[in-house]
């Protein structure tokens, strides 16, 4: 398998979850660059290169977005809607990673073109294998268009 750099935007307000995700995805043999923002407003600022994220070298276009739903400032569903309604951002895969298993949340995510919906297990021993599977699929096997 060819080594390549994957740029990931992690949108997660829970610092403990963010550490677990970053640690597990960094362990892959792929060269991943993970950028973490803590709320929906920062995610939109990052994607549109506003405020603290104007420099494309320090805020490169992600090839994958891992998006929590319940966040301060701007909700994850609003971030998803914005991404999937923007002709520049629409092709970036968005994986919802949340604690909500509510049918309404799942339906709304897919209605707004989420590429995948994962429920974060409360047990760390289950969370880590989920991240490993996520990493293998999205970072090793999935083919994405060139976003540059």
Q: Under CATH, to which class is 5-141 assigned? A: alpha beta
pLDDT of residue 130: 81
Q: Is 84 helix (H, G, I), strand (E, B) or coil?
A: helix
Helix 103-111 and helix 76-84, axial crossing angle in degrees, nearest 10: 20
Query: pLDDT-derived band of residue 128, with 50, 70 and 90 as boundaries?
Result: confident
Is the pLDDT confidence value at 29 over 70? no
DSSP 104-115: HHHHHHHHTT-S
Measured CA to CA, the distance from residue 148 to residue 22 in angstroms comes to: 23
Sequence spans of domains, the chain: 5-141
Length of the chain: 148
Greater confidence, 26 or 21?
A: 21
Is the pLDDT confidence value at 3 over 60? no
pLDDT of residue 1: 46
Q: Max alpha carbon distance in the chain (Å)?
A: 40
DSSP letter (8 states) at residue 73: S
Using a 10 angstrom Cβ sphere, with 0-12 exposed, 13-18 middle and 19 or more buried, the burial of residue 96 is: buried
Instruction: Over range 92-121, report the average pLDDT.
Output: 94
Using a 10 angstrom Cβ sphere, with 0-12 exposed, 13-18 middle and 19 or more buried, the burial of residue 123 is: exposed
């Amino acid at each position: 398998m060819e080594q390549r750099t994957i740029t990931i935007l992690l949108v997660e307000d829970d610092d403990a979850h963010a550490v677990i995700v970053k640690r597990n995805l960094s362990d892959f043999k792929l060269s991943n660059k993970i950028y973490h923002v803590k709320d929906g407003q920062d995610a939109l600022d990052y994607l549109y290169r506003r405020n603290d994220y104007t420099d494309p070298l320090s805020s490169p276009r992600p090839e994958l977005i891992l998006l929590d739903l319940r966040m301060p400032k701007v909700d994850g569903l609003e971030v998803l809607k914005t991404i999937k309604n923007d002709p520049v951002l629409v092709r970036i895969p968005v994986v919802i990673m949340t604690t909500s298993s509510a049918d309404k949340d799942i339906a709304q995510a897919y209605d707004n073109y989420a590429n995948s919906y994962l429920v974060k297990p409360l047990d760390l021993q289950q969370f880590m294998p989920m991240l490993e599977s996520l990493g293998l699929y999205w970072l090793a096997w999935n083919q994405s268009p060139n976003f540059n």
